[in-house]
Structure 1
Amino acid sequence: MTNVRHRYGFTLVELLVVIAIIGVLIALLLPAVQQAREAARRIQCSNTLKQIGIAVHNYHDVHLALPPGHVIQANDPDWGGATADTDVESWGWGAILLPYIEQAALYEQSGLGRGTLLETVIDPVALTPVASYRCPSDTAPTIGVGRLFSDWAMSNYKASYGHRHRAVQIAPVAAAQTGCFLPIGKPGSYQGSLRLRDVTDGTSNTIAIGEVAWKRGELFHEAAVWAGATRGKGGNVCKDVYAGGRAAINHSNNVSNELCESFSSMHPGGAQFVFADGSVHFLTENIDYVTDGSSNESDVDSSYERLLSRNDNQVVGNY
């Protein structure tokens, strides 16, 4: 009797079918994995903002006032010069909150509490990354090289100056800035810090701090700087520490000032905000928003503007 040997294996067609099935499975699973990872990053970002909100309240408990948005130091030798707008650096709210986010050593190194000028500690302090000010979904560089102004360690969170268009630049006084953070420093122009009682619309109805992305697609939103601002004298400080109602969330028109002075994020569909009561909310980019882009705009006539304004005396409604 003749023994017949059988060879076992895949035919070429069978192999191609298996490869095709594996490819389909990967195509189906990959988006789910990416969504799960983004969900985890969004939760981490929310927790970070929550800690910032707690830090704001702890600061208020100690100082009986909200932290200033930025501090213009009167002893800066560049005051009064022809290039003062570009040479007067200002500490920002992020630096002021360092002791309340477990960064007391960095705060002590900065000398901020002793009146040390930001310009004298840029290398050791302003170039130091602070993880508590970064959103894990944002892939921005650690140092903002090539940004319009401050090439310092970056942040993804900016303080709200309110609903108005370019409020810090057009009129740096309390009446113009309807947000929770005011600049302090130069007598006669800057009014000083607010208290929670000044948030007359209710702390649960008012945005305090929100996200700003480094880059969305091909559009540079420029993110933020935690230490402060190079151009702390004038309205250009917005580019580093403030954002507001100049444009909608995740604004998509390629106008640099509008992009960097509005809130945005790498989270799909919107951005996260910490409100004045310390709660964190995700606001959709499709939230009701109306603006005419005027520098003198004062009307508060949309849900987003009502959330940005601390004292419009209107009912926010659903958002």
Structure 2
Amino acid sequence: MSRTRSAFTLVELLVVIAIIGVLIALLLPAVQQAREAARRMSCGNNLKQLGIAMHNYHDVNKKFPPGYFQTLGYENRPFNTSGHQMRYCYARSILPFMEQQALWELLDAGQKQNVPSWEIPGRSEVVQGYMCPSDGAGPKVSEDGFGGNYLGFHGDSRYYDSGGNADERMNGMFCALSKVRMADVVDGTSNTMLMGEINLIPEGGLSAAVTDRRGMYNMCYTGNGTLSAHVTPNSQVPDVQEAGRFVNTDYAPAVSAGSGGVYATYARSRHPGGVQVVLVDASVRFVPETIDSVVWKGAATRSGGEVTPAW
């Protein structure tokens, strides 16, 4: 009499394993794409909230916050300090409009006591709304403070391009001691970029002795706290940073500015194919890295008179 088998043969087991492997290989990219789509949506919401916070700041103060509270050479400070107390940017100014009133008061108290920016209490507090969930380097916290993925545009040129006080004459939304009003956005609020993304370098980066200051909201100067549209998104053209204050990587390349006084931080992201930006009207756009350079530069200026095609 025949006996009924109660187990798989080795060949059958291998076939089943192979089929399961093929199914996983087919499903995994779809799962990853779904996760990235969710992260990109969350990133877009962060930018939307930043745009709304900027609007609320403008409603109260009748202007957008300055990009930097000091110039590159420490001249023209708004009040009598050594300059070290003024190394912060718009990211701190809009905290009360991002439900971060307590943090703003803590930072403001240190400011009034002339505490240097790299020692001010509260500088290392993480604000989730400043972090892109697709960037695994965040949150970035160092002795200099908290660093985020979102920076404001200073225009279509590199920073300090023309020498002198050129940093105060940038043609975007933010620069040193800027006082841009909604009425100054002649190109239209739906045609002008307000803020965009950068890639963060993990603390320590490739060298534990160096802190990369791109995106550091409490150590903003020498062009590391605003975006330049001089090159298109995700370009391999390196950022130009202060010597000894950056780490060069393939996803955020950088070179030293040397003694030339020309600086730049370019838009980059972990989103495949491009970066996200928020426009002055607080709408969010995904900009492909293949965008025409002329269009990209035109969208970074507030009153250049360029004809901006549909995004």
Do both proteins adopt the same fold according to a TM-score greater than 0.5, normalized to the shorter chain?
yes
> Helix, strand or coil: the match of 2:170?
coil
Q: Distance in 1 between matches of 2:161 and 2:62?
A: 23
Structure 1 contact 64–195 (Cα < 8 Å) conserved: yes
Q: In structure 1, what residue type is equivalent to 2:105?
A: E
Q: Which residue is 2:268 aligned to?
A: 264
Which runs of no fewer than 5 residues in structure 1 stay unpaired? Answer: 80-86, 185-191, 290-301
CA RMSD of aligned residues (A): 2.8
Deviates more, 1:36-45 or 1:244-253: 244-253
Structure 2 contact 154–228 (Cα < 8 Å) conserved: yes
5 Å-filtered alignment, 1:116-131, equals 116-117=113-114, 119=116, 122=119, 124-131=121-128
Q: Distance in 2 between matches of 1:144 and 1:170?
A: 32
Q: Distance in 1 between matches of 2:194 and 2:94?
A: 14
5 Å-filtered alignment, 1:231-270, equals 232=221, 236=222, 238-239=223-224, 241-254=225-238, 256-257=240-241, 259=254, 261-270=265-274
Shift in Å at residue 132 of structure 1? 0.8
Alignment pair present for 1:204 and 2:202: no
Would the alpha carbon gap of residues 282 and 163 (structure 1) be closer, same or farther in structure 2, given more than 3 Å must change? same
Q: Distance in 1 between matches of 2:168 and 2:89?
A: 21
Alignment pair present for 1:314 and 2:311: no
> Helix, strand or coil: the match of 2:46?
helix
> Helix, strand or coil: the match of 1:42?
helix
Q: Which residue is 2:96 aligned to?
A: 99
Runs of 4+ residues deviating >6 angstroms: none
5 Å-filtered alignment, 1:111-190, equals 111=108, 115-117=112-114, 119=116, 122=119, 124-145=121-142, 151-167=144-160, 170-173=163-166, 176-184=169-177
Q: In structure 1, what residue type is equivalent to 2:88?
A: W
Structure 2 contact 231–237 (Cα < 8 Å) conserved: no
Structure 1 contact 161–167 (Cα < 8 Å) conserved: no
Q: Distance in 2 between matches of 1:12 and 1:123?
A: 67
Q: Which residue is 1:283 aligned to?
A: 287
Deviates more, 1:175-184 or 1:273-282: 175-184
Q: Distance in 1 between matches of 2:43 and 2:79?
A: 37
TM-score (norm 2): 0.80
Which runs of no fewer than 5 residues in structure 2 stay unpaired? Answer: 71-76, 242-252, 255-263
What is the number of residues matched between the two proteins?
Answer: 278
Deviation per CA, 1:194-244: give whole Å up to 9, x if none.
10100110111000110111259x9x9965123342xx3xxx1x11x1111
Shift in Å at residue 54 of structure 1? 0.4
Shift in Å at residue 108 of structure 1? 0.5
Q: Percent identity?
A: 37
Deviates more, 1:120-129 or 1:40-49: 120-129
Deviation per CA, 1:250-309: give whole Å up to 9, x if none.
1124555475610111111000101111111110000001xxxxxxxxxxxx10011001
Shift in Å at residue 8 of structure 1? 1.9
Shift in Å at residue 166 of structure 1? 2.2
Q: Distance in 1 between matches of 2:32 and 2:165?
A: 43
Would the alpha carbon gap of residues 221 and 284 (structure 1) be closer, same or farther in structure 2, given more than 3 Å must change? farther
> Helix, strand or coil: the match of 1:158?
strand
**Larger proportion of helix:** 1
